[in-house]
Amino acid sequence: MLRGDLEAGGVSPLHTHRVSELLVIEEGTIFAGFIDTNNTAGHDDHPTNTVALLINVGSTPALTYSFFPSDNHGVQIDGFALFGGNLPSKLLDNITLLDHAEVQSSRSSLEELINFIYDMI
Protein backbone atom coordinates (compact mmCIF):
# COMPACT_ATOMS: atom_id res chain seq x y z
CA MET A 1 0.00 0.00 0.00
CA LEU A 2 1.19 3.50 -0.80
CA ARG A 3 -0.19 6.71 0.69
CA GLY A 4 -0.29 9.81 -1.50
CA ASP A 5 -0.74 13.38 -0.26
CA LEU A 6 -1.26 16.03 -2.93
CA GLU A 7 -1.71 19.71 -2.22
CA ALA A 8 -4.31 21.61 -4.26
CA GLY A 9 -2.95 21.76 -7.80
CA GLY A 10 -0.31 19.15 -6.94
CA VAL A 11 0.74 16.39 -9.30
CA SER A 12 2.53 13.08 -9.10
CA PRO A 13 5.52 12.65 -11.38
CA LEU A 14 4.92 10.67 -14.56
CA HIS A 15 5.58 7.03 -13.71
CA THR A 16 4.91 3.43 -14.66
CA HIS A 17 4.23 0.22 -12.71
CA ARG A 18 4.74 -3.31 -13.96
CA VAL A 19 1.60 -4.45 -12.14
CA SER A 20 -1.94 -3.13 -11.91
CA GLU A 21 -2.82 -0.47 -9.36
CA LEU A 22 -6.02 0.16 -7.44
CA LEU A 23 -6.28 3.84 -6.45
CA VAL A 24 -8.61 4.86 -3.62
CA ILE A 25 -9.28 8.57 -3.20
CA GLU A 26 -9.95 9.17 0.50
CA GLU A 27 -10.21 12.97 0.36
CA GLY A 28 -10.15 15.60 -2.36
CA THR A 29 -10.68 15.60 -6.10
CA ILE A 30 -8.12 13.74 -8.19
CA PHE A 31 -7.76 13.24 -11.93
CA ALA A 32 -6.00 9.92 -12.43
CA GLY A 33 -4.95 9.25 -15.98
CA PHE A 34 -2.52 7.47 -18.24
CA ILE A 35 -0.83 7.79 -21.59
CA ASP A 36 -0.80 4.59 -23.62
CA THR A 37 1.65 3.36 -26.25
CA ASN A 38 -0.32 5.21 -28.95
CA ASN A 39 0.27 8.51 -27.06
CA THR A 40 -3.43 8.61 -26.25
CA ALA A 41 -4.46 9.96 -22.87
CA GLY A 42 -7.18 8.21 -20.92
CA HIS A 43 -8.64 7.91 -17.46
CA ASP A 44 -10.66 4.68 -17.46
CA ASP A 45 -9.31 1.14 -17.09
CA HIS A 46 -5.67 2.05 -16.57
CA PRO A 47 -3.59 -0.63 -18.39
CA THR A 48 -0.40 -2.02 -16.83
CA ASN A 49 2.91 -0.56 -18.09
CA THR A 50 1.47 2.74 -19.27
CA VAL A 51 2.64 6.17 -18.16
CA ALA A 52 0.47 7.21 -15.20
CA LEU A 53 -0.29 10.60 -13.72
CA LEU A 54 -2.29 12.07 -10.85
CA ILE A 55 -3.43 15.68 -10.61
CA ASN A 56 -5.23 17.24 -7.68
CA VAL A 57 -7.86 19.27 -9.56
CA GLY A 58 -9.61 20.36 -6.36
CA SER A 59 -9.11 23.37 -4.12
CA THR A 60 -8.16 21.36 -1.02
CA PRO A 61 -5.43 18.80 -0.25
CA ALA A 62 -6.12 15.26 -1.42
CA LEU A 63 -5.34 11.93 0.21
CA THR A 64 -5.03 8.74 -1.83
CA TYR A 65 -4.08 5.14 -1.22
CA SER A 66 -2.67 2.87 -3.91
CA PHE A 67 -2.88 -0.89 -3.64
CA PHE A 68 -0.83 -3.35 -5.69
CA PRO A 69 -1.09 -7.15 -6.14
CA SER A 70 2.63 -7.48 -5.37
CA ASP A 71 5.09 -6.14 -2.81
CA ASN A 72 7.39 -5.39 -5.74
CA HIS A 73 5.20 -3.20 -7.94
CA GLY A 74 8.22 -1.82 -9.80
CA VAL A 75 7.57 1.90 -9.94
CA GLN A 76 9.74 3.83 -12.36
CA ILE A 77 9.60 7.63 -12.33
CA ASP A 78 10.17 8.76 -15.89
CA GLY A 79 12.12 11.92 -15.05
CA PHE A 80 14.57 10.01 -12.85
CA ALA A 81 14.97 7.33 -15.51
CA LEU A 82 15.76 9.88 -18.22
CA PHE A 83 17.60 12.69 -16.50
CA GLY A 84 18.93 11.03 -13.35
CA GLY A 85 20.98 8.36 -15.05
CA ASN A 86 24.26 8.38 -16.88
CA LEU A 87 22.96 8.72 -20.43
CA PRO A 88 25.11 11.19 -22.38
CA SER A 89 23.47 14.60 -22.80
CA LYS A 90 23.78 14.44 -26.60
CA LEU A 91 21.81 11.18 -26.62
CA LEU A 92 19.15 12.71 -24.35
CA ASP A 93 18.92 15.71 -26.69
CA ASN A 94 18.06 13.33 -29.51
CA ILE A 95 15.75 10.84 -27.80
CA THR A 96 13.67 13.43 -25.92
CA LEU A 97 13.40 15.92 -28.80
CA LEU A 98 14.49 18.61 -26.34
CA ASP A 99 17.23 21.08 -27.05
CA HIS A 100 20.50 20.84 -25.13
CA ALA A 101 19.64 23.71 -22.74
CA GLU A 102 16.34 22.02 -21.77
CA VAL A 103 18.10 18.70 -21.12
CA GLN A 104 20.72 20.42 -18.96
CA SER A 105 18.03 22.34 -17.08
CA SER A 106 16.09 19.12 -16.42
CA ARG A 107 19.21 17.36 -15.17
CA SER A 108 20.08 20.30 -12.93
CA SER A 109 16.55 20.49 -11.47
CA LEU A 110 16.54 16.76 -10.81
CA GLU A 111 19.94 16.93 -9.13
CA GLU A 112 18.67 19.73 -6.85
CA LEU A 113 15.62 17.64 -5.94
CA ILE A 114 17.70 14.55 -5.18
CA ASN A 115 20.08 16.59 -3.00
CA PHE A 116 17.10 18.11 -1.17
CA ILE A 117 15.67 14.64 -0.48
CA TYR A 118 19.03 13.31 0.75
CA ASP A 119 19.43 16.32 3.05
CA MET A 120 16.08 15.45 4.66
CA ILE A 121 17.10 11.86 5.39
pLDDT, tens digit, for every residue of 38-76? 777 777 666 777 788 888 999 999 999 988 888 877 777
Put the strands of the sheet holding 15-16 in their side by side order.
41-42, 30-35, 51-56, 15-16, 76-77
**CA-to-CA distance for 4 and 32, rounded, in angstroms?**
12
Note the Cα 6 to chain centre separation in Å: 13
Alpha-carbon distance of 7 to 90, in angstroms, equals 36
pLDDT, tens only, 68-103? 888 877 777 777 777 777 888 888 888 888 888 888
- Beta strands, E only, 11-56: 15-16, 22-27, 30-35, 41-42, 51-56
The model carries a pTM of 0.67
pLDDT in tens, 13-39: 888 888 888 889 999 999 888 877 777
| 2-6, strands of its sheet edge to edge | 2-6, 62-67, 22-27
